[in-house]
Amino acid sequence: MSARRRAAIVGVAESEVGKTPHLTVLSQQAIASRAALAEAGLDRDDVDALFVAGGWSWAPALALAEYLGLRPRYLDGTNIGGSSFEAHLGHAAAAIEAGRIDVALIAYGSTQRSDRTRNAPRPATLGEQFERPYGLPLPVGAYALAANRYLHQYGVTSEQLAEVAVNTREWARLNPNAYHRDPLTVDDVLASPMICEPLHKLDCCLVTDGGGAVVVAASDRWADVATRPVVVLGHGESTTHHTIANMPDLTVTGAARSGPAALGMAGVTHDDIDVLEIYDSFTITVLLTLESLGFCKPGEAGELVGGGRTAPGGALPMNTNGGGLSYTHPGMYGIFLLIEAARQLRGDYAATDPRRQVPGAELALVHGTGGVLSSTSTVVLGRG
């Protein structure tokens, strides 16, 4: 038994997404966690590690463990924004490979849409006292600053930003749970209200409720599970700044570090990747991420996504659930990227909706971005 112990995603689930005033952040996570464990064919008491991120408690891992009736012996409350869950998966895989844990539960829940707390004023302390007094709405304003710099530096256009939203909507049209399923054109995006120049309303992610859970198991347990394992092949994470004024270069994200780290650990290259799940908080997030990951040269991501290349049937399938732009975005979206990647690699859609299934998907790159382009976490997943 000298083979290296590996980690794999063995169960995934969403709770209810959209508008869920009848649920709480805790019930969201309990519903998703039970469903993900049921899919895996594992019991709650198989879980020995809990990974949670959220701003709804001073210690969300403790609050959720109590609510679920869990007594984990390994806790990780890493919160680096929307990319937290890719980080959690990397941390869980490391703990599994080190022999510290056997089954990890990663959970997230939000009632952001029902609460309408996203823009509630709070005092500006620490570094925020040098940004909040100027009235810039966040996070959108920070992404707009990056977008304007990017358009200026490379001559990329608002139309090219809009193509990200258009391609993503094409995927959402195939997802019965997507918030927006109507057809969308570049003109529609440009005609939507300007929020912060150059970002229009339809360049921005949704504000929804929702929850999700991912169950990760050590290879010793794969024989017991009910699903085809989705193996964690590589992981990397990074941070470049917290507040946008401290981002060293507004056109280069931490993906430039976390991407190569994840690909290198997996021993694969860009050309090997069959499906991309890239955090799309805003259209600009996707273009900057693709460039920083190295899928094209700086300034060329507009051409990379152009002509529907990332839409269904395109050469570079991306955000195949409809993304944060059209499917759902409950505050921190990263867990939904993992859920969709796992389903694509298992071939779940082949039977239910072949148009949504990326044919022959064996390798996925999942990339979370958190804060105001502040953190990144990249995971390479493979069909087991």
* Binding-site ranges for another protein (CB under 8 A): 119, 121, 123-127, 129-137, 141, 144-149, 152, 193-198, 243-246, 250
Nearer to another protein, 135 or 360 (CB): 135
Among residues 361, 350, 194, the alpha carbon closest in space to that of 275 is found at 361
Shortest reach from residue 199's CB to another protein, in Å? 8
Task: Encode 279-338 in three state secondary structure.
Answer: CCCEHHHHHHHHHHHCCCCCCCHHHHHHHHCCCCCCCCCECCCCHHHHHCCCCCCHHHHH
Cβ proximity to another protein, 101 vs 196, nearer residue:
196
Q: With left for phi above 0 and alpha for psi between -120 and 50, is residue 151 left, alpha or beta?
A: alpha
Q: How near is the Cβ of 94 to another protein at its closest, in Å?
A: 27
Nearer to another protein, 49 or 144 (CB): 144
Question: Which residues lie closer than 8 Å to 356 by C-beta, 6 or more apart?
Answer: 171, 174, 175, 312, 320, 349
- Main-chain dihedrals φ then ψ at residue 118, nearest 5 degrees: -60, -35
* Residue number, 123 or 360, with CB nearest to another protein: 123
- 245: helix, strand or coil: helix
The answer for residues whose C-beta is within 8 angstroms of residue 135's C-beta and 6 or more apart is none
Rounded distance, CA 150 to CA 249, Å?
10
309-324 burial, b at 16+ Cβ within 10 Å, e below that, comes to bbbbeeebbbbbbbbb
Minimum CB distance to another protein smaller for 150 or for 279? 150
Minimum distance, C-beta of residue 370 to another protein, in the bound complex (Å): 19
Q: Is the dihedral angle over the CA atoms 232, 340, 373, 259 positive or is it negative? A: positive
* 193 vs 360, beta carbon nearer another protein: 193
d(CA 301, CA 161) in angstroms, rounded, equals 9
Residue 246 vs 352, nearer CB to another protein: 246
H/E segment holding residue 339: helix 334-346
Give 116 or 297: the residue with its C-beta nearer to another protein: 116
User: What 3-state DSSP class applies to 95?
Assistant: helix
Give backbone dihedrals phi and psi of 234, rounded to 5 degrees, phi first.
-160, 155
> What's the closest the beta carbon of residue 201 comes to another protein, in angstroms?
9
Q: Which is nearer to another protein, 204 or 231 (CB)?
A: 204
Q: Kindly state the smallest distance separating residue 198's Cβ from another protein, in Å.
A: 8
CB 23 → another protein: shortest distance, Å?
26
Q: What is the rounded distance in angstroms from the CA atom of residue 234 to the CA atom of residue 196?
A: 36
Query: If residue 277 lies in a helix (H) or strand (E), which one and from where to where?
Result: strand 275-278
Q: How far is the CB of 146 from another protein (least distance, A)?
A: 7
Contact 86, 334 (CB under 8 A): yes
Contact 265, 246 (CB under 8 A): no
Is 121 or 360 the residue whose CB approaches another protein more closely?
A: 121
Q: What is the smallest separation between the CB atom of 287 and another protein, expressed in angstroms?
A: 15
Are the C-beta atoms of residues 366 and 338 closer than 8 Å to each other? yes
In the complex, least distance from residue 316 CB atom to another protein, rounded to whole angstroms: 28
Cα four-point dihedral sign 241, 379, 347, 291 = positive
Rounded to whole angstroms, the Cα distance separating 325 from 311 reads 14
Query: Least CB distance from residue 91 to another protein, whole Å?
Result: 26
